[in-house]
Amino acid sequence: MAIALNQTGTESITVSGSVVGTTLPLVTTGELTDPTTGLPYRQTPRHALIQCYGQPVRYASNLTIAPSGVFGQKLLPGETLDLTDPHRDYYGFLKYLRFVLDVDATEDAQVEIDYFQ
């Protein structure tokens, strides 16, 4: 049985020598902000397609250990990280996902993320 995924947002991240994380899409219907803090609510996407362009990057999804130029999973230019298995929930992974340039990179990289529910 096939399960349809609905795209809920996109993000384009420029990756350089500093660690950078994802910014989950904003809620666009219903209650938009937390009445206590005034901060906007964020979506909880469960799936994503992540593509790397230009230079290799490293990524990790852990609050205590950040990726570095030599640590973390390597994503090469043109590669896609496919997190669209409808039977899995990748929300926690996406929430804490961070990128940095690989040690072999010679300039900034671009990471494109398509989020799905």
Say if 31 falls within a structural domain. no
CB atoms within 10 A of CB 117: 14
* pLDDT tier at 1, thresholds 50, 70, 90: low
Over residues 54-88, the pLDDT tens digits come to 999 999 998 888 999 999 999 999 999 999 999 99
75 in a structural domain: yes
pLDDT score of 62: 87
Q: Which domain holds residue 78?
A: 41-117
Length of the chain: 117
Split into its structural domains, the chain has a count of 1
Q: Is residue 13 part of a domain?
A: no
In-domain check, residue 89: yes
Residue 26, in any domain of the structure: no
- Which class for 74: exposed (0-12), middle (13-18), buried (19 or more C-beta within 10 A)? middle
Phi, psi of 63 (to 5 degrees): -70, -25
Within a domain: 45: yes
Give the global pTM. Answer: 0.88
